[in-house]
Structure 1
């Protein structure tokens, strides 16, 4: 009869099988490449060996760039989480708001492609066109892990429709992506105590008719230890606004917790930290050159139209994910 220790050892062996298989593939492929390289010096075999050499080199590269990181990098603790995205127009006036509307459409299209359920929680639409700010939920496993790289300042360079002289304007939109935390998960993570949250109710402001003006349906939460404040007035009832506000508060506290954990892990290797500072300019959308450049990894995609349609943005997100996994590998090797 198997003992608990035997079962544990079998489980550990099972978990290491993919690592052993990847290492065996690496060793055998490297040895085959070494032998094929020697054949390149033989005039009679050079042509055939050249094809094998290229194929083996590609296989070896694939193992290093894809297989090893997938196996060795610890599973993401947020891989099951949905995402909460906040967009705010920055410098550029009405043009920034117009671009925010374009970006919002891009993310909604990307959500369709990725089969996430997108829900616009709130949006401040302007009479002149465009959107001043918006909050969107993207519900589906992996949404946060895919979209978290979008936090930062997005810069657009283009000629506004209202520009008579054809002069290029530069505008910005600030994006913040938070893990969307359900109430049960917030309790599990122990993100806050109700004793630390100040709850205020007030009358909603802005459009909404008599209901908005006569009832105290707006809610403002203040997390006293961190100073984080969340105000919500878009729902019609106080209960709905309070539930939504607590969800956003939990998301912001979870992001702060994840950031602290990341900084703690990398404190001794500051030169490798890929900053996600929200004040950083992370990407430029250049309409004249039909080009999108992500400044963090030096990647340029010369198909801006496809990016704004939510298609080529997937390539940028995948590249950012690979860069993150490579940095994780570097951390592991350094340790």
Structure 2
């Protein structure tokens, strides 16, 4: 089963772009459900206006991820009148949909854990003072460790140590993931315009079919050539 992390962002765009991002998010999640792709919202930053989204980061799991994302990754355009500024002349608004590189979060395996025993400190009677019942568990790949001395039983302390070590390592990995996402978010703050992967129109957010005729493609190539010659 494939996993990917996707970010939908309005970049540094105005409130209208945040409104578009919220609409795109709703549309995107509906398609995920139709394709039986499970998702988890990792992070969401709301826009200034009610019902708008500055950015949202989503973890996807499923078999058809690439097939669905092919028509999403890139710049998404909405053609319509501003919902916040009635007399604003701008009609084209853009948001971005990106696949983010992530760290590989690995499950903790018992073979990677090293245990050290020691005498427990504090009250507990002679048994605690004489027997090395306290346990330090070290996760070798990340060098993360915990010390457990809750029980008089070394065996029970080992079990508790595994649970706590797992939680601690997962927290460390999650913080690394968040940092990775923040770094990439900085790179995507400026949403590129032009050549959108999807185009929506109107307040009902109707998807436009991108039908390109040969004549239209030829005219686009001519225009691009002119732009290059004039630049």
Q: TM-score, normalized by length of structure 1?
A: 0.35
Specify which structure has the bigger relative contact order, considering alpha-carbon pairs within 8 angstroms and separated by 6 or more residues: 2
Q: TM-score, normalized by length of structure 2?
A: 0.49
